[in-house]
Amino acid sequence: MIGGMCTIASAYRLRAVLAFVAFGLACSSSAPVQPPAESARAFLKDANETLLRLGIESNQAGWVQQTFITLDTEAINARASEAYMTAATGFAKRATQFDGVELTPDERRQLTLLKNFLTMAAPADPKEAAELAQLAASLDGIYGRGKYCPGGESGDACLDVEEITEILARDRNPARLLEVWDGWHSIAPPMKKGYARFVELSNKGARELGFADTGAMWRSKYDMPADAFAKELDRLWGQLRPLYLSLHTYVRARLRQRYGEAVPADGPIPAHLLGNIWAQDWSNVYPDVAPPGGTRAVDLTPVLRARRITPVEMTRYGERFFTSLGFEPLPATFWERSLFVKPRDREVVCHASAWNINQVDDLRFKMCIDQTAEDFTVIHHELGHDFYSRAYSGLPPVLRDSANDGFHEAIGDTIALSVTPEYLVKVGLIPQAPDSSGDIGLLLRTALERLAFLPFGLVVDAWRWQVFDGTVTPETYNKAWWDLRERYQGVRPAAPRGEEFFDPGAKYHVPANTPYTRYFLAAVLQFQFHRALTQAAGCTTPLHRCSIYGSAEAGRRLKAALEMGASKPWPDTLEALTGQRQMDASAMADYYAPLKVWLDQQNQGQKAGW
Ligand SMILES: [Zn+2]
């Protein structure tokens, strides 16, 4: 899910985190001379063994820290993560030594993945490497400590990101919304100078590894030339833009009814009125835009409560979803070692996550489950991560990852898309599925989350790629940011934002240097997976009412794709799952087709776009 609803913790998690450890290209000059292929194989053996060992240690430390937060467990976890990152950074740099060596395709694939591991490359100059590490930590720290203190007050009067998120979600006083929106963005200007220097140094490191710049290094992870990948994203967005325009036009008109002239009839929507700091998820404005007459939908929550279905039993439903597809049941240790409810005796990270501690079959699950329909769905999503990581566990450790970084979340979400009313009937939770009269409301609600997210999912890296390649310089950081946000999202700040601001820095992934395109890919891919699997399952109802539950054929396809892990370029895995080698956003358009018809009826007489 977007914004970190849940995460898979394993090599996958570690690969996603910031790499800021300097590591030179030192080779021992006294080592015996080996034929190049032999030394490449010895290198791969060392990389696989070392990364598996350090990955397991890091998982163990991470699990203990998240299920028992203390100063000590945090320190232990930080040390274990750092050891893993240091080793992985070293292997990434050394992997380039074998560029011209003739090897098997499987060995070549492992070297490619090792080389593409970094999200930040330190320059070889130790002083510059240290400066880069310091800048990365400092930017992350400024964000982490970021608070808005109204009227220059301090202490308890200050609002952190969670409190501001909550106000933007619930409050409807436009002056208050603007105040806290401005307030949160005030944390970022102190980052600007450091960020510009960070860009210089990380580009230098990337160039030393043979990439044009840091953005090109990120795009190299996708098994196609960097420019071709950027074009692919534009093509996918083109498939969805008409649907987005329909949603945008409809929401703008409804918000205009609530806020009046502050919302233009035919221009961009003010960014602070969409229920979210970054206008990346509009679910919170659902009450303002819901179809008249509301929605009639299944409410699973009272059923779970009335039938006293415990968190563990809810998870058993999730497990049976996968066994119905032909997957092996979860190991006994999953039930012994997982965390299902919030403990009363200690602090834990309740944020749901899935783990594979030994990267083979020590699967776990950490979630403070409430007896709600939402958590019932999240359980299915999280188990998707666990079944994925077990499916690829037979591969060499370096290849135990998803096909590309969009796939892991997309698989979890694909499973969640199959939690339909028909599925709930089949497993005996509700007696019958409701008719389709409430479907528009349900589709609108999820479109406000998933569809509204897409353009923002493109903007964050579109901006950074231009920054890294020098098209955008510090003199135009903020202008470029808002140009992109207006062009893709159709949102605008309430008042002009000059270069004294650094609004990109108010989004976590920018100071944390975490690539963002994966969230866009996951949002698009999950519908493509869902459409293909429901076709394999022989489903004939509209896509949003299809579940793959119980389909051996859908299960066979899914399993074949999951077992491939990162061993092949992602188009191969995509083909195994969907029969297509290209990403295809038309599946998402198909899924929301009934909503689009309805939105276009509501939008009659309105000018679309901005
Ligand atoms: Zn997830």
The pLDDT tens digits of the residues spanning 422-437 come to: 999 999 999 999 888 8
Interval between CA 492 and ligand 1 midpoint (Å): 30
pLDDT in tens, 26-71: 344 455 567 789 999 999 999 999 999 999 999 999 999 999 989 9
Interval between CA 344 and ligand 1 midpoint (Å): 25
Interval between CA 39 and ligand 1 midpoint (Å): 38
Annotated catalytic residue 272: no
Q: Give the DSSP H or E segment for 365.
A: strand 363-366
Amino acid 137: pLDDT: 86
Annotated catalytic residue 522: no
Given pLDDT bands bounded at 50, 70 and 90, which one contains residue 391? very high
Catalytic residue among 40, 121, 136, 352: 352
Catalytic residue among 272, 381, 408, 544: 381
CB atoms within 10 A of CB 272: 24
Amino acid 16: pLDDT: 39
268 CB-side CA count, 13 A: 18
| Backbone φ and ψ of 9, nearest 5° | -110, 120
Annotated catalytic residue 409: yes
Percent helix, percent strand, percent coil in the chain, to nearest 5: 60, 5, 35
Interval between CA 190 and ligand 1 midpoint (Å): 32
Amino acid 24: pLDDT: 37
Annotated catalytic residue 153: no
Catalytic residue among 519, 549, 591, 592: 519
Q: List CB contacts of 398: < 8 A, sequence separation 6 or more.
A: 44, 47, 48, 51, 110, 113, 114, 566
Amino acid 497: pLDDT: 97
Catalytic residue among 382, 522, 544, 585: 382
Amino acid 9: pLDDT: 45
Annotated catalytic residue 84: no
Amino acid 298: pLDDT: 75
Catalytic residue among 107, 131, 319, 409: 409
| Backbone φ and ψ of 120, nearest 5° | -150, 130
Annotated catalytic residue 336: no
Mean pLDDT within 110-134: 91
Amino acid 12: pLDDT: 41
Interval between CA 376 and ligand 1 midpoint (Å): 14
Given pLDDT bands bounded at 50, 70 and 90, which one contains residue 25? very low
Given pLDDT bands bounded at 50, 70 and 90, which one contains residue 20? very low
Annotated catalytic residue 317: no
Q: How far apart (Å, rounded) are the C-alpha atoms in residues 80 and 61?
A: 7
CB 17 within 8 A of CB 81: yes
Q: Which residues partner with 356 through β-bridges?
A: 363
Top mean pLDDT of 235-249, 298-312, 405-419 is at 235-249
Q: How far apart (Å, rounded) are the C-alpha atoms in residues 381 and 74?
A: 27
Interval between CA 380 and ligand 1 midpoint (Å): 10
Q: How far apart (Å, rounded) are the C-alpha atoms in residues 50 and 562?
A: 24
Interval between CA 7 and ligand 1 midpoint (Å): 4
Amino acid 350: pLDDT: 87
Annotated catalytic residue 380: no
Catalytic residue among 185, 248, 272, 385: 385
**Cα dihedral value 561, 388, 546, 379, nearest 10:** 180
Dump the DSSP string for 255-276.
HHHHHGGGS-SSSPEEGGGSSS
Interval between CA 235 and ligand 1 midpoint (Å): 25
